[in-house]
Amino acid sequence: MKQEFGKRIRDLREDMDLNQTKLGKEVNMTQRKISYIENGTYEPSIDDIISFCKFFNVSSDYLLGLKDSTK
């Protein structure tokens, strides 16, 4: 799950032409934490998942790899 989550975060970030630092500022996380999440070395908290869902306007099911649709 962590790998799929990280890949989806990276894809969404790149689609918006954001670097990790800019995304981190938007969701109140450090660049390092974003990197760890994207690489699957850090398991995001519920609050992290909610922040990403709100920022990217996608469902948690999508981020967690349970659905292929963003809604």
- Give the burial string for 10-30 (b: 16+ CB within 10 Å, else e): bebbeeeebebeebbebbebe
Better pLDDT: 70 or 18: 18
Across all residues in the chain, what is the average pLDDT? 95
Evaluate whether 36 touches 70 at the Cβ level (below 8 Å). no
CA separation for the pair 45, 2 (Å, rounded): 11
**CATH annotation of 2-63:** 1.10.260.40
1: confidence class by pLDDT, cuts 50, 70, 90: low
Domain residue spans of the chain: 2-63
